[in-house]
C-alpha cells in the first residue's frame, strides 16, 4: 500500500514566530510530499515489499530492500520517516524542559537540561552539510548523534526520542 503524506497536526502558522507559515507549508507539502512520492515510486518496482511499514523497510540498514532501490528508499523513505516524527514532536503548546523519566535520564547522562541542550546544539551545528541531530536510546541508554542526509537511528536499530532537521530547507525562507 503506498505511503501518504500525513496531515500536519497543527496549522502552518502555529509555530510562528519561530518558524513562519510559508516555510512550514513548503517544508510539509513540497519537501515531505516529494519524499513520499519518491519512496512510493521506488517501491512500485518491488511488489514483494507492498505490505511493509516504513519502519520495517528502514530497519537493519534496509536489509530487506533490494540493492537496486536501496538508495532511493534510504533517502526518500528516511525523509518520510524523519519528517513524520519531526512534525509530531513540535507543536504550539510543546517545548520546555522534559519531566518524569526522560528528565531523570537526561540529568543522569548529561548532568542537566542545559548541558543536554548545549550538546544537542553542538551535534546539530557540527553536521557538515545536510542531515539530522537526534536524541536516541541506544544500547547504553540516551545518546546524542548526528546523521547525514535522511539517515536515521532506525536504520541502526536504535530508537529516536527527538529529531532535529538541520537541512537548509527547514529554515530557509
Q: Per-residue pLDDT tens for 17-59?
A: 999 999 999 999 999 999 999 999 999 999 999 999 999 999 9
| β-bridge partners, 147 | 132
> What is d(CA 19, CA 16) in angstroms, rounded to the nearest whole number?
5
Q: Where in the chain are all domains bearing CATH 1.10.287.990?
A: 21-89
Whole-prediction pTM value? 0.94
pLDDT digits (tens, 9 = 90+) for 75-106: 999 999 999 999 999 999 898 899 999 999 99
Q: Which CATH architecture has domain 100-170?
A: 3-Layer(bab) Sandwich (3.55)
| β-bridge partners, 141 | 138
Predicted confidence band at 1 (pLDDT cuts at 50, 70, 90)? Answer: low
**pLDDT value, residue 167:** 84
Residue 137, SS3 per DSSP:
strand
CB within 8 Å of 82: residues ≥ 6 apart:
132, 150, 152, 163, 165
Where does 21-89 sit in CATH, by number?
1.10.287.990
Q: Where in the chain are all domains bearing CATH 3.55.40.20?
A: 100-170
Amino acid at each position: 500500500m503506498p505511503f501518504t503524506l500525513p496531515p500536519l497536526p497543527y496549522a502552518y502558522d502555529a509555530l510562528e514566530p519561530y518558524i513562519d507559515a510559508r516555510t512550514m507549508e513548503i517544508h510539509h507539502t513540497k519537501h515531505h510530499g516529494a519524499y513520499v512520492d519518491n519512496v512510493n515510486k521506488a517501491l512500485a518496482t518491488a511488489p514483494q515489499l507492498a505490505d511493509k511499514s516504513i519502519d520495517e523497510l528502514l530497519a537493519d540498514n534496509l536489509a530487506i530492500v533490494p540493492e537496486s532501490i536501496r538508495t532511493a528508499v534510504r533517502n526518500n523513505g528516511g525523509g518520510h520517516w524523519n519528517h513524520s516524527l519531526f512534525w509530531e514532536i513540535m507543536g504550539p503548546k510543546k517545548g520546555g524542559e522534559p519531566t518524569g523519566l526522560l528528565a531523570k535520564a537526561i540529568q543522569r547522562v548529561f548532568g542537566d537540561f542545559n548541558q543536554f541542550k548545549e550538546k544537542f546544539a553542538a551535534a546539530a551545528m557540527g553536521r557538515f552539510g545536510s542531515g539530522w541531530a537526534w536524541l536516541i536510546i541506544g544500547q547504553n541508554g540516551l545518546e546524542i548523534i548526528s546523521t547525514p542526509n535522511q539517515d536515521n537511528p532506525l536504520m541502526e536499530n536504535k530508537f529516536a526520542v527527538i529529531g532535529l532537521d538541520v537541512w537548509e530547507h527547514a529554515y530557509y525562507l
